[in-house]
Structure 1
Amino acid sequence: MAAIEVAVVACIARLPVSHPEIASIRSDLAAFPMVGPASRRMTNLPVYEITDLYRMTLASVA
């Protein structure tokens, strides 16, 4: 795992512990797709990446 992946996943893993009301995670970072799968595994939460947001937006207007 690259250093950026380790840092981002570590931060995301702390979120549900400090804020149990969090039900999902959304990120607009262009580099986030590479850490999305690891974040999902660590938190057991849905993690939406920018590509998911594009897909959902297009599906809603199509």
Structure 2
Amino acid sequence: MYLQIHKSSVLGGVGALSIGWYGLYHFLQITTLSFAFLAFCTIVRCFYIKNHKNKHWS
């Protein structure tokens, strides 16, 4: 009886853990993509401003 309960609780724990990891993975993926997009936009804006200023100076 105890073994059965232990087995089911372990399986439940593993299931919850895998779901947690899955959710965490997706959350990190979305966050990373958002940060990458923001960084890309910032870099593009910086380059655009720099080029724009250079055009004004020349």
TM normalised by structure 1 equals 0.30
Q: Which has the higher contact order (CA 8 A, sep 6+)?
A: 1
Which one has a bigger Cα radius of gyration? 2
TM-score normalised by the chain length of structure 2: 0.31
More strand, by proportion: 1
